Amino acid sequence: MPSYTPPIKDAQFILHDVLKITQAQVPGYADLDPDFTGAILQEAGKISAEVLAPLNVVGDVEGCTLENGVVRTPTGFKAAFDQIREGGWPGLDMPEQYGGQNMPYVDGTAVGEMFSGSNQAFTMYHGLTHGAASAILAHGTDAQKDKYLPKMIACDWTGTMNLTEPHCGTDLGMMRTKAEPQDDGSYKVSGQKIFISSGEHDMSDNIIHLVLARIPGGPDGIKGVSLFIVPKFLINEDGSLGARNGVTCGMIEEKMGIHGNSTCVMDYNEATGYLLGAENKGMRAMFTMMNEARIGVGMQGLSQADAAYQNAVIYAKDRLQGRAVTGVENPDGPADPLIVHPDIRRSLMDQKSFTEGARALLLWGASMIDASHRADDDDAEGLVSLLTPVIKGFLTDEGYDMTVQAQQVFGGAGYIEESGMSQYTRDARIAMIYEGANGVQALDLVGRKLAQDGGKHVMAFFAMVKDFGKDNKGANEAFDRDFLEPLKTASKDLQAAGMYFMANGMKNPNHALAGSSDFMHLFGHVCLGLMWARMAKAAQDALDGGASDVAFYETKIATGRYYMARRLPATGMHLARIQSGADTVMALAADQF
């Protein structure tokens, strides 16, 4: 069975050596010294490794079952959920007023990666509750907040998001679910929603569904969509649970992975709902949480890649097969371990340099969310908004590829479910799809985010890369050659791609959109290049400062060097694809396919 080792030291390195969070001018950050974050990560790591990880395979094998309207989660899930609840984890970064611990989001993200890495399907139950609670926090009335948040933040009640219908996923303007106003101010919600993660289960007393629906007579399309709170059990005046509401789980989907999470078809039949936020502003309410939700999915891509990588390393050190081409390394054994072989190394280094770079990008993004929410930093908000589709799309595409590479290290055993490696691949696959498929992320990036506020944020990104180069050039020749030069080249490729869009996208937007996925990946590589340059700089500073853990910091620099030499050259390819424009992409009529 696969194991999971929480990446505590790595997260600490990023939080403290790279981001230096205690020095950031963000309310709450001053408290986050290494001892404090270390203690939290230790605790979260413990529960991840000891409680959640062993249930990962159980969830995959057993899945969820629906019988007489009741959904049963896999063996052990409910007990583990109780532990998560009792530990107060779901409320880590929620307001104290509603029972949370008011810690910054960056802390919640570092913890979230461990939960997700040890058991993605399980973590979605409280992850989605967090998202639903955030929506109520942002858009609810005081009465709604008082009514729902304490229970949801405690995870006594869980939450869901209901967007998709059978005929509309990305294009929510076609939504049909309707909400009829009632005399008492409530609504009767009717319609069918599909792909509802954690839609029904046996781990909480109540489930609070957030449902997008149309109020009859409203505007057509996306502008006539409102958001509703629809509890599974109605709530009495005294806060106790009342009658069962008109919402049922019609079926559980058979999926490629995340079997431990119940993906439900939800049928609403005159269910009582309560408007959340303003009428016809449902999409705005949903979009408030979009950055966080999408960053959370990017995190899943990273977390599955890291979990798979860890097990690939164990296997590569353990499995004896063949001899090193440069001479026997394990003379007492019948063969050398896999890890001596250059192509296995190449694969492990691909994985390692991705996951560590991705973790830095993720936590940097999370710190900008904090700066935006806690310090009203508009620049941080603009930049993280720009980077959100990159974090979601690039980290899940690449994260998936890394799970495939990790599985490949196992050879035939990787294809057998017993090794657990197939599950990482199958689970990671969903992250490329939900919360906006990655093609939609690319469209959001190129079609909206790039030009937002007059292109101010992408300019700020380029300035940041340039300043980093200027500030750090000349101190260390190897650093200049191995990090600053490749970063500069990659950043120039990204700028050239942006220039191409500007020059050609005006006359034909297809010239921009045909290169959108390539641009997202190009941007992602530049981000990871920047992260690696920053990490290498921090590691070098630590070494220069006489840090005791020399091996750790040297490993960081060597891993970064790999990324810059071996992964970053992808930017040139993406640029060439982008610059080839839309003509070859759009050449065929539909019937020529």
Residues 340-369, interacting with its own copies (CB under 8 A): 341-349, 352
Q: If binding is defined by CB under 8 A, does position 331 make contact with its own copies?
A: no
Q: Give whole-number Cα distances, 78 to 52, 199, 481, in Å.
A: 11, 15, 53
Residues in 66-85 at the binding interface with its own copies, rule: CB under 8 A: none
Among 67, 68, 185, 325, binds its own copies (CB under 8 A): 325
Q: How far is the CB of 151 from its own copies (least distance, A)?
A: 29
Among 67, 237, 546, 587, binds its own copies (CB under 8 A): 587
Task: Return all residues near 444 (Cβ < 8 A) that are at least 6 apart.
Answer: 389, 436
* Residue 586 binds to its own copies (criterion: CB under 8 A): yes
**Residues 411, 467, 503, 547: which binds its own copies (CB under 8 A)?**
411
Alpha-carbon span 549 to 15, nearest angstrom: 17
Q: Residue 394 belongs to what H/E stretch?
A: helix 378-409
Count of C-beta atoms within a 10 Å radius of residue 217: 7
The tokens 């220069």 sit on which residue? Answer: 544
Q: Phi/psi at 263 (nearest 5 deg)?
A: -100, 110
Cβ-based nearer residue to its own copies, 127 or 505: 505
* By the rule CB under 8 A, 507 interacts with its own copies: no
Structure tokens at 86: 């009792």
Report if residue 9 touches its own copies, rule: CB under 8 A: no
Choose between 280 and 508: whose C-beta lies nearer to its own copies.
Answer: 508
Which member of 88, 509, 541, 543 binds its own copies (CB under 8 A)? 509
- Reported as type and span, the H/E element at residue 466 is helix 456-472
At its nearest, how many Å lie between its own copies and the CB of residue 514? 4
Q: Toward its own copies, which CB reaches closer, 187 or 500?
A: 500
Six-digit token string for 208? 């609070």
In the numeric block, which tokens belong to residue 57?
A: 């395979």
Please say which residue, 20 or 167, places its beta carbon nearer to its own copies: 167
| Shortest spacing between CB 77 and its own copies, in angstroms | 21
- The DSSP letter of residue 82 is H
Instruction: Go through the chain and tell me how many residues it has.
Output: 593
Closer of 378 and 583 to its own copies (Cβ) = 583
Q: CB of 242 within 8 A of CB of 233?
A: yes
Could you say which of 435, 477, 485, 554 is catalytic? 435
Give residues 291-320 in contact with its own copies (rule: CB under 8 A).
313, 316-317, 320
Count of chain residues binding its own copies (CB under 8 A): 94
> Which tokens in the block code for residue 143?
């009465």
Tokens of 48: 């991840």
User: Distance (Å, rounded) from C-alpha 133 to C-alpha 131?
Assistant: 5
CA-to-CA separations, 529 to 159, 260, 372, 428, in angstroms, rounded = 37, 35, 24, 23
In order, the DSSP letters of 88-144 are: TGGGTTS-GGGT-----HHHHHHHHHHHHHH-HHHHHHHHHHHHHHHHHHHH--HHH
Rama region for 108: left / alpha / beta (φ>0; ψ in -120 to 50; rest): alpha
Contact assessment for residue 280 and residue 226, using Cβ atoms and an 8 Å cutoff: yes
C-alpha 1/C-alpha 173 separation (Å) is 45
- Counting contacts by CB under 8 A, is residue 111 touching its own copies? no
Q: Among 185, 412, 545, 546, which residue sits at the site for its own copies (rule: CB under 8 A)?
A: 412
CB of 580 to its own copies, least distance (A): 4
Site string for its own copies, 423-462 (x = CB under 8 A): --xx--xx-xxx--xxx--xx---x---------------
Q: How far apart are CA 489 and CA 571, in angstroms?
A: 9
- Closer of 338 and 366 to its own copies (Cβ): 338
**Selected binder of its own copies within 120, 123, 422, 472 (CB under 8 A):** 422
Query: Residue written as tokens 């690696």?
Result: 532
Q: In terms of CB distance, is 108 or 257 closer to its own copies?
A: 257
Q: Dig out the tokens for 494 from the structure.
A: 């990204």
Closest approach, Cβ 452 to its own copies, in A, equals 17
Residue span binding its own copies (CB under 8 A) among the ranges 39-47, 101-109, 224-232, 399-407: 399-407
Residues 165-204 that bind its own copies (CB under 8 A): 167-171, 173-174, 194-195
Residues 125-154 close enough to bind its own copies by CB under 8 A: none
Q: Looking at the DSSP assignment, which residues form a beta bridge with residue 213?
A: 226
Task: Closer to its own copies by CB, 143 or 587: give it.
Answer: 587
CB of 243 to its own copies, least distance (A): 32
Give whichever of 307 and 513 is closer to its own copies, judged by the CB atom: 513
Residues 231-260 that bind its own copies (CB under 8 A): 253-257
Quick one: 46 or 255, whose CB is closer to its own copies?
Answer: 255
CB of 406 to its own copies, least distance (A): 12
**57, 106, 369, 513: residue in contact with its own copies (rule CB under 8 A):** 513
Q: Are the CB atoms for 213 and 277 separated by under 8 Å?
A: no
Q: Which two tokens stand for residue 221?
A: 């399309």
CB of 206 to its own copies, least distance (A): 26
Please confirm, yes or no, whether 279 is among the known catalytic residues: no
Q: Is 38 exposed, middle or buried (0-12, 13-18, 19+ CB in 10 A)?
A: middle
Options 21, 308, 339, 391; binder of its own copies; rule CB under 8 A: 339
CB of 303 to its own copies, least distance (A): 18
C-beta closer to its own copies: residue 87 or 169: 169
- Residue 514 interacts with its own copies (CB under 8 A): yes or no: yes
Pick from 101, 129, 96, 80: nearest CA to 36: 101
Q: How far is the CB of 43 from its own copies (least distance, A)?
A: 26
Cα R_g (the chain), whole angstroms: 24
The reply on whether position 162 binds its own copies by CB under 8 A is no
The catalytic site residues sit at 435
